[in-house]
Homo-oligomer: A and B are copies of this chain.
Amino acid sequence: MLINNIDYRTVWMQDSSVYMINQLLLPFKFEIYQSKDYIETANAIKTMIVRGAPAIGATAAYGLAQAALLFEGYGYNDFKEYVDEAFNLLNLTRPTAIDLKHGLNFVKSRMFVKGSIANSKMKAFEAAAEYADLSAESCKKIGGHGNEIIKNNQRILTHCNAGALACVDFGTALAPIRIAHYNNKNIFVFVDETRPRNQGFLTAWELSQEKISHAIIADNAAGFFMKKKEVDLAIVGADRIALNGDAANKIGTYEKAVLAKENNIPFYVAAPLSTFDANSKTGNDIVIEERSEDEIFYAYGMSENKNLEKINIAPLESHARNPAFDITPAKYIKGIITEIGIIKPTKQEIQKLVKYGNEKRSSF
């Protein structure tokens, strides 16, 4: 992704440090966080310096390679034990993120070159870099397929941040938008601010950096612009997709999908193969996390004297309910944009996809 006209990834490794864009400071300050050992890297995942399933997967992969590289003992068994410890620590940082495990397993399954610690260290680094490259490549392919449904002069609505910041690069929902822009299509993006955590502001920041025309809107205004025929297309990400095509995504996605259907606007979900969950038959099998009331009660931003500050915006004697995700039933989804093409949200198509994904992963 372009930031200040320089091509960045969300996370990368150089020497034995893992570097990542510090997302706790965005969209207010752009800073690179340098993690000097795997414990710092684990903490960075835990404290959400890096966020978004694909980005977390790559960070964990780099974290494990970093652990290997910094091993200073001698015996090969000690080395293996030490790597297992690092694996476990990294694996526990965000318990629900399945990509975390993918990234760690990818590196672990490739790194051990029997008897040679030096070779194993090198292999670990290579595997982590390969994982990150494959992850970025997946998103780029999503962008390529998604680009085909975007016509010149279209106005696209998106929700939350399914952008490069949530991935290694390109993003999921934002990848088609990026690629359409790189192909000189004239597009405009409506960005839902996405209360309560305002991830839409990260999306807006990414779009600004790429000079893609856009406007932030209150989540309440998406329906208004759809009804006024100012939205041609909606593309969102997904956290998990059930076998029947029901998609779990950031709270509010369901609302926008219903409104899109009501206004005859095609509603697409963009997601890599790893998002499909063969263990969830329908959306009902996906447990929705309710998060702290404080996300409703407080706003976070920059004060006049340029400090990041938290202020209380709601009456504290009230209660709040704060579901973090919702389920969009398959019937509202026109298609799912994956790295191997756009599919219909049907059981038949998704089962084929899951099978393909499993075979591909087992060939890793």
Contact = CB atoms under 8 A, between A and B. Distances in A.
Interface of A: 27-28, 190-196, 198, 201, 204-205, 207-208, 214-225, 227, 250-252, 254-255, 258-259, 262, 288, 296, 298-304, 309-315, 317-323, 326-327
Nearest to A220: B252
Given A216-B318, A219-B220, 9 more contacts: A27-B315, A195-B195, A216-B321, A217-B321, A220-B251, A221-B323, A224-B254, A258-B258, A299-B299
Contacts of A313: 198, 201, 299-301
Number of copies: 2
Contact of A255 (B205, B255, B317): B255
The 6 closest A-B CB pairs, nearest first, are A220-B252, A299-B299, A301-B313, A301-B311, A223-B255, A27-B315
Chain A facing B: main interface SS = mixed
Contacts of A319: 214-216
Contacts of A315: 27-28, 201, 204-205, 208
A323 B221 CA distance: 7
5 contacts: A196-B220, A216-B296, A216-B319, A301-B313, A303-B312
Nearest to A326: B224
